[in-house]
Chain A
């Protein structure tokens, strides 16, 4: 087996220094090393989006990224953005629209939707559907997810904060 590598990753604002196996994926690092179970593993081959996290502000698939690739980077997970309140409006909209059932896909959906609303503050319903297509949901039928993202787009537009990155 390959030797472990020392990695320094700032996860949700906390610096973690760990020896990790070079083959370990970021999603497993977060879940197994740090106990951050909110990031889910749905397919382990980059298709479903359940493992979505942010590295240095951009969303990535935690199952396609190795932990060592995040060395020196800032990683944010659903736990971090929930604690900071950064996507509270989107989370609220998901509840109000019942845009989740089992909730397994939801952390990934939320981070993906938030990334869209930040890059495309005026995204149309079709654009939302298009953008969310890399995130699978087996429960909802997507309609309510699209509703929730649309309604957050509106609240953010009214609040004049669309496009803001809370950094």
Chain B
């Protein structure tokens, strides 16, 4: 078996999980493509345009972040900044504590996964419930999401039914409709009793300070209808210059993520509710989180910060489909994670994830579906190069030693001899090739018959004929 961690994980993967991930990620790929190109025949140029808008925003982040901050303050929101995970968790805790909040609802936010907010708040005694159905199940299981849009793609209905039974949410019943209704009943009490609701944001418009949050379930909306305090955790890369850009991004996001022209609930939040409104938070806090983003911005892979978390790249990735999201050992799986995780880990921990950029066949499918046209294969190559330059041990797992090849290639005589000797390959069975990575490679593959040296032979004969035309 391979020494690469991701291959080992895939090898050990339970068959049920593999089938769920494979089926779940492949399903709908064609539909998403049809919806995107059926609705927007010029989708490829729109993807490029969206990419340029995000690239521009990132390269002027100082200006846009400051503008968004000003707008939000004008609109009555409070704005905070968190350098790293510890600071972000601490600030959320302080906001909750100062307001006497114990019960909290939270809708899906990937940045909260990065900073491990749930663990932090649970340790401090807060009662936090995830309201997105998939995230709720992940929370009940003490598990982690394995896809940015479909958090429980790795679970089947029977596992979920067992979880509900274990957690007192009814007798075993694996009917998806029953599972959903039970979550609905449980969650509405929580929405109404929670004093605060935590969300992320898909986009923030620097022009208006508007946060844009999309969900299909309506959980974020319900959470914010019930609570009096809203805390939004937002990565600093979530900005777009203006509301018009939002219109393009929304048109691409739903179609790329789930094949919908728009997600069911698309919320635009400028600030706290008006005094005369009956429901909605009286207080709104936005925490802009860095957690490794500025270091990524300084790298030659800053394009990855354009990502709008649609999940399309993981759905089409042959490595993700076979190995599952958890194989990437980090919050972000798939091609996105193979680039982003080593970068967000920062220079101090880059080496830990230096094998991830190798988890790709460089087929380019991820780039073809990315709504912001991130050149993921190029970024993977840059990171492979960096891992080699920094001598990160994980980058060398299973990498064949090229020194003997280099020696042969440098000596014409040795090269000629080796070409002839390699004819043995046609006689010796592949399974007899004993050594390391090559042996592991050939154990699952066949080779075409060896024809090495034919060209030289042909060229030599031709030369002879030319010299002696008869």
A and B held together in a complex:
no
Write the residues of chain A forming the contact surface with B, with a CB cutoff of 8 angstroms: none
